[in-house]
Amino acid sequence: MIKSMTGYGKGRAIDQNGTFTVEIRSLNHKYFDLICRLPNNLSIFEDRVRDHVKKQIRRGRVSLSVSWESKRKAGVPFSLNTQVAKKYHQEMMKLKKNLGLKDDIGITEIISMPEVITYKQPKDEAQLLWPQLKRALDHALQKLQRMREAEGKRLQKDLVKRLRVIRAYLGNIENHLPKVIEKYRENLFRKVKSFSGIKKPDRERIAEEVALFVRNSDVSEELTRIKSHLEGFKSALRTPKETGKEADFIAQEMFREANTIGAKASSFRISRWVIKIKSQIEKVREQLQNVE
């Protein structure tokens, strides 16, 4: 099933740390191109976001924005053990008295002692917040993919219809070829008879000329190849992998074969059918510009 490259999705995840909101849009593009907009305090997640999106979207210009409403309160990054500080102060006062010192014992000396101040080890922000951001991102991607798949179904229906039209024109050409040969034989016979005045022209010679005409205007190989490309195109539409590039290459080959048929055509009706086939192929290629 093919997917369109255009879509939109929005996801939200809420927990005790706050609310993550992710919006994602995708448009047509020849390759995968991602533009991330994250708050400065969440820039550490950009590589993770990029890798996660790239696993699900293979082609298209993707614009993604993240916002975060934090519920976390700013806390003091250290703790003060007043009991230990008092103990140090008491022991220092005793030492000062025993040594007969006159120097004052200030706060600077006390807080420099071990275990008076303990700095809190900050939790890993990425480890704490990434699961929540990933949930919001997954919700947005799911909605985006549903929209892309729905549009892809419409595109596939249109493409299959155009393939049927092309096949019908190819059938017209195949059915008309014997008539072209017969008409050429009749015209040649009539011209030779008219110009030479011979009532019974050499049929063997005419047969050789007709054979040469058939050889120069034979398009059976081109018709076989273009029908094979039609089957390959239909198979490409059914594959779950990236379809757009492969299908576009097949469409190019179909157009090339149609050009060859047109160049060999010795019939106005065949030329007209070739023009219609090429028109359908061009419309197919236009639609493929929106296929992942």
Q: For the chain, how many helices (H) and strands (E)?
A: 8, 6
Q: What are the C-alpha distances in Å from 229 to residues 173, 247, 255? A: 17, 10, 10
Count CB atoms within 10 A of the CB of residue 66: 22
Looking at the structure, tell me whether residues 143 and 184 fall in a common domain: no
For residue 195, the model assigns a pLDDT of 57
CA atoms of 149 and 168, how far apart (whole Å): 29
For residue 114, the model assigns a pLDDT of 86
Task: State the angle between helix axes of 46-54 and 125-196 in degrees (0 to 180), rounded to the nearest 10.
Answer: 40
Looking at the structure, tell me whether residues 164 and 280 fall in a common domain: yes
Looking at the structure, tell me whether residues 54 and 87 fall in a common domain: no
Domain count, the chain: 3
Looking at the structure, tell me whether residues 162 and 190 fall in a common domain: yes
Domain that holds residue 103: 78-119
Write the pLDDT tens digit of every residue in 124-180: 556 778 999 999 999 999 999 999 999 999 999 999 999 999 999 999 988 887 776
Looking at the structure, tell me whether residues 110 and 188 fall in a common domain: no
For residue 201, the model assigns a pLDDT of 55
Looking at the structure, tell me whether residues 252 and 268 fall in a common domain: yes
For residue 98, the model assigns a pLDDT of 86
Low-confidence ranges of the chain (pLDDT < 70): 72-78, 119-126, 180-217, 240
Tell me if 167 sits within 8 A of 227, measured CB to CB.
yes
Looking at the structure, tell me whether residues 196 and 95 fall in a common domain: no
For residue 94, the model assigns a pLDDT of 86
Q: What are the C-alpha distances in Å from 48 to residues 45, 51, 52, 275? A: 5, 5, 6, 50
CA atoms of 257 and 230, how far apart (whole Å): 12
Is there a domain that residue 52 lies in? yes
Looking at the structure, tell me whether residues 140 and 27 fall in a common domain: yes
For residue 43, the model assigns a pLDDT of 85
CA atoms of 52 and 62, how far apart (whole Å): 13
Looking at the structure, tell me whether residues 110 and 231 fall in a common domain: no
Looking at the structure, tell me whether residues 105 and 162 fall in a common domain: no
For residue 270, the model assigns a pLDDT of 86
Looking at the structure, tell me whether residues 227 and 272 fall in a common domain: yes
Is there a domain that residue 2 lies in? no
CA atoms of 139 and 34, how far apart (whole Å): 18
Listed in sequence order, the residues at least 6 apart from 11 whose beta carbon sits closer than 8 Å to its beta carbon are 21, 22, 135, 136, 137, 138, 139, 140, 141, 142, 143
